[in-house]
Copies of this chain bind each other. A is one copy, B any other.
């Protein structure tokens, strides 16, 4: 692995998950190989971009007329995408979206370790969802400090999100992954990643328009 995370551009970081997703969709064994061209065509990404992106994150030299082993690429992509890390997190807001995320088994696989969940509704307290226990929101700060929580996942409603974010930041989290459809203010140095489904739809809408136009 020639380059480290810090050398990669945000644009590249957006493409790596696409490569990984695509490779995982193939039925491959330890001998399966793939060429940049195939990746390029499958994903609709210019081949020169693929060549550079891939060459950057792997030590394996591509073999002319053949390509590279899929298994190596998968390993290298996972490494660069942080799937081998284990970042401690809490989730706040155990509504339908919160529950859905807790029930999703994929987080650990990608490097996020949700240690606990928090809510205001007493009926949820001490309930165990997919191995994660729900605690009263009052305990959020204490829990985060005592367990070195690095990331807070916010799945509350719009009204509560800012308050929760502030509590999380006061408790020392480094990053917030916000699923509530609101703009959050975070103090400098705290990383904010917004997962706004509305934005996904805007993109879809835009591309529907373009594709109709292009006909």
Contacts and interface: CB of A to CB of B under 8 A. Distances in A.
Interface residues of A, number: 63
A205 B42 CA distance: 26
A133 interface: no
A17 B198 contact: yes
A45 interface: no
A195 B206 contact: no
Interface string A146-184: 000011000000000000000000000011010001110
Contacts of A123: none
Contact of A208 (B14, B174, B211, B213): B174
A111 interface: yes
Contact of A13 (B6, B13, B202): B202
Given A97-B100, A100-B99, A196-B17, A210 B6 contact: yes
B205 A81 contact: yes
